[in-house]
Amino acid sequence: MANYADIVNTARNAFQTGRTKQLDFRMKQLKQLYQLYEDNENAILSALATDLHKNKYESVLAELLFLKNDVKTFLMHLKEWAAPEKPPKGFVNMMDEVLIYKEPYGVALVIGAWNYPFFLSFKPMAGAIAAGNCVILKPSEVSPASAKLIAELVPKYLDKECYQVVLGGVPETTELLKERFDYIFYTGSTTVGKIVRAAANEHLTPVTLELGGKSPVYLDSTVDMEKAAKRILWGKCLNAGQTCVAPDYILCTEQAQDEFISKAKNVLEQWYGESSKNSPDLGRIVSDRHFQRLVKLMSSGKVAVGGETDPSQKYISPTILVDVKPSDPIMQEEIFGPLLPIITIKDANEAIKFINSREKPLAFYIFTENAKERKLLIDSVSCGGICCNDTIMHLAVESLPFGGVGHSGIGAYNGYYSFDTFTHKKSCLVKDFSVLGEKLGSSRYPPYTEKKTNFLTMLLLKRKGLGLSRTYLTHTLIFTLGILATLGFRTFLKSGYFRILTDSWNWPNTS
Ligand code: NAD
């Protein structure tokens, strides 16, 4: 086992040199990361084919293209995102500088999962680099060809001290987690997510946990059923169902179920021919252990479509199961394979009750043309994210944060949110020593008096409806000028100059 203390120390010393805080350095590393993707496309595709029987189309689109776009986004926006923010400030701070500095945490540990081994390792890593952190990356041992390639490529392209790769499985990760990190970003199962969080707690290390769970589909008969069937099955068959946001099960009426199944049979035949086993477009299950687990789950309910398996290839055909009971094994855990159970319900309210009686899902898919019902479903279900009338595609929207809630995760990333996740927002107030500033603030000093309290209350009290709009600024300006005039007038009255002036005045004799 490698010496993890040394690895983390090397990264920490590198962080302390301050080089990852320089924007030029980060930009250079991100460009190098892009180059890594460009130069090694064939090697990456081949590792994905070895580990997951992933076809070129899915590898290029669902792993590499998004990784490249992600780096491009950072290169385009990093300067602007990394600059100190000047948030709106209240009236009392009108004379001060109010800033939010974007500070990297330090050494971040990124633990990747096997189902999208490059995407789930490099995407968070790119966010950590952009934010100025050093990174220790631990790819999943379950996709070994990909993990090995990642370990070979990273030191060839990136700074060797700041960014390091550690290989290994459970024992290695357990040891690694004993080290102190400044941030931990974990992708994987909820069970292991709890272990990672417990390890992080030892050092009060902040975490992002990108976990899984059962992502339900609500489907009704108002939709174009052929298109709906295509979009649901595409989400289920992508990477042979081994996608964290794959539609896990369908909730629909019996009528919608019949319509869906009749369309689904045709769609699958159009896509994969008579037997999907011979199609180059369907992936395989990652390991024998996962294959056996899925085969056991197939005994829930009754097979309506598919049901074919071949252990020698870890092949499972896209399978739709009906007559499934909520208490069946397939409804007790995330499926993570090409099995699609259907649970029949009466209406949207029953679907909401069903979903809300379980852990909060990572994704929720709503297929309906009924806008009122859609709104009800969106409002009533708490989940990581929602996609209406499609599956998985919400992840491709760069401006949307991606993450779970409750048992499906903590925190989120994607585009700006990746940068934000790995950034500590350091607040900073800069006051000056001007006479006026001191005058305004001196009422906070003892001895405390009623007059001072009243003055400060007047100064600090939040006024309803006043944001930092133009109206607010106008009000504030008038208010400030009023106070300044009052203070100036009082000073003037107390000044010797006023006395000299008044003494010299020729007051009318009123007596
Ligand atoms: P996995 O087996 O690859 O494990 C994930 C990581 O955790 C690996 O690096 C592994 O080495 C490490 N690990 C495993 N057991 C550990 C332990 N006991 N202690 C410390 N580290 C350990 O992946 P998995 O967990 O089988 O992944 C599948 C799950 O991940 C599914 O639930 C899926 O939904 C979820 N997932 C979520 C996302 C997301 O972005 N939210 C993405 C992919 C997968």
Mean pLDDT of the chain: 92
Where does the pLDDT of residue 498 fall: very low under 50, low under 70, confident under 90, or very high at 90 and above? very low
Q: What is the mean pLDDT of residues 366-391?
A: 98
Q: Is 127 in the pocket of ligand 1 (CB under 6 A)?
A: no
Res 506: pLDDT: 45
User: Which residues, including other chains, have CB under 8 Å from residue 189's CB and lie 6 or more apart?
Assistant: 211, 212, 334
Top-confidence residue, 359 or 464: 359
Residue 492 above 70 pLDDT? no
Task: Give me the percent of the chain exceeding a pLDDT of 70.
Answer: 91
Mutate to test the pocket of ligand 1, among 138, 187, 287 (most ligand atoms within 8 A of CB): 187
What's the rounded mean pLDDT across residues 170-184?
A: 98
In the structure, what pLDDT confidence band is assigned to residue 485 with cuts at 50, 70 and 90? Answer: low
267: Cβ contacts below 8 Å, ≥ 6 apart: 226, 229, 230, 233
| Ligand 1 binding pocket mutation candidate from 120, 189, 286, 413 (most atoms within 8 A of CB) | 189
At residue 296 the predicted structure's pLDDT band, cuts being 50, 70 and 90, is: very high
Ligand 1 contact, 165 CB (< 6 A): no
Tens digit of pLDDT for each residue in 187-207?
999 999 999 999 999 999 999
Binned at pLDDT 50, 70 and 90, residue 462 comes out as confident
CA of 414 to the centre of ligand 1 (A): 19
Res. 438 pLDDT band, cuts 50 70 90: confident
Q: Which residues are within 8 A (CB) of 37 and not within 5 positions of it... i.e. 6 or more apart?
A: 44, 64, 67, 68, 71, 122
Number of CB atoms found within 10 A of residue 166's CB: 21
pLDDT value of residue 91: 81
Q: Is the pLDDT of residue 424 over 80?
A: yes
Ligand 1 centre and the CA of 120: distance in Å?
A: 10
> Lowest mean pLDDT: which of 26-30, 228-232, 452-456, 492-496?
492-496
Question: Ligand 1, closest atom to CA 188?
Answer: 30
How much is the pLDDT for 504? 46
In this prediction, residues 212-218 reach a mean pLDDT of: 97
Q: Do residues 70 and 126 touch, judged by C-beta distance below 8 A? A: yes
pLDDT level of residue 430 (50, 70, 90 thresholds): very high
pLDDT digits (tens, 9 = 90+) for 315-350: 999 999 999 999 999 999 999 999 999 999 999 999
pLDDT at position 64 is: 97
CB of 119 shorter than 6 A to ligand 1:
no
| Mean pLDDT calculated for residue range 247-266 | 98
CA nearest neighbour of 251 among 329, 328, 324 = 324
Per-residue model confidence (pLDDT) at position 511: 31
Contact assessment for residue 253 and residue 373, using Cβ atoms and an 8 Å cutoff: no
**Percent of the chain whose pLDDT exceeds 90:** 85
Atom of ligand 1 nearest to the CA of 408: 41
Alpha-carbon distances of 42 from 46, 52, 116, 148, rounded to whole Å: 6, 15, 16, 15
Q: Looking at residues 238-247, what average pLDDT do you find?
A: 97
Report yes or no on whether pTM surpasses 0.85.
yes
pLDDT on residue 489: 58
Model pLDDT, residue 219:
98
Residue 157: the pLDDT is: 98
188 lines ligand 1 (CB under 6 A): yes
SS3 per residue for 437-501: HHHHHHHHCCCCCHHHHHHHHHHHCCCCCCCCCHHHHHHHHHHHHHHHHHHHHHHHHHCHHHHHH
Distance CA 121, CA 369 (A): 37
Distance CA 108, CA 133 (A): 6
Instruction: Give CA–CA dist 95/477, Å, rounded.
Output: 12
How is residue 326 annotated by DSSP?
T
Average pLDDT over residues 77-92: 94
Bigger pLDDT: 469 or 192?
192
The pLDDT, as a whole number, for residue 461 is 87
Segment 205-231 shows an average pLDDT of 98
User: Distance from the CA of 184 to the center of ligand 1, in angstroms?
Assistant: 14
Measured in Å, residue 189 CA sits from the centre of ligand 1 at 4
What band does 178 get if pLDDT is binned at 50, 70 and 90? very high
